A = this chain, B = another copy of it.
């Protein structure tokens, strides 16, 4: 009917691939821990980088303030995270994982690593390599076009 093909359109393909790849992993932390994606990301950010502010978490994991805010609240309720006030600037709060949070983080990163290995098998190392360098190109473009 026309020569446009949704199947070939990069935004569509990228979206579909991301949904497929990310959802399979999300299912794990959702089913086993009842975590949302923003919560998992916040946990991962704090777990790997240690103490951070909410804004820093947002930058690190590319999430909007409100998502971070809600995720922090949820993790705090679960006692996986505690806040402490910055002394010099009372607007800022430092976020840090509790012992329980660190434990959860470690279990989840174990899952994440297992999933990475599974992905390598699923995509083949060539496929993985191509995808990774394609993503790097996108990431470079993102920096350039940072709004």
Contact = CB atoms under 8 A, between A and B. Distances in A.
Interface residues of A, number: 62
Interface in A1-40: 1-2, 4-7, 9-22, 25-26
16 contacts: A6-B45, A10-B131, A11-B115, A14-B17, A14-B22, A14-B135, A15-B22, A20-B138, A21-B138, A123-B141, A127-B140, A130-B134, A131-B134, A131-B137, A133-B134, A134-B135
- Interface residues of A: mostly helix, strand, loop or mixed? helix
A47 B123 contact: no
B17 A21 contact: no
Contact of A48 (B1, B41, B113, B124): B1
Contact of A127 (B20, B44, B61, B138): B138
Given A7-B60, A17-B139, 12 more contacts: A4-B47, A10-B128, A13-B135, A14-B17, A14-B22, A17-B138, A21-B138, A122-B141, A122-B145, A123-B137, A127-B136, A131-B131
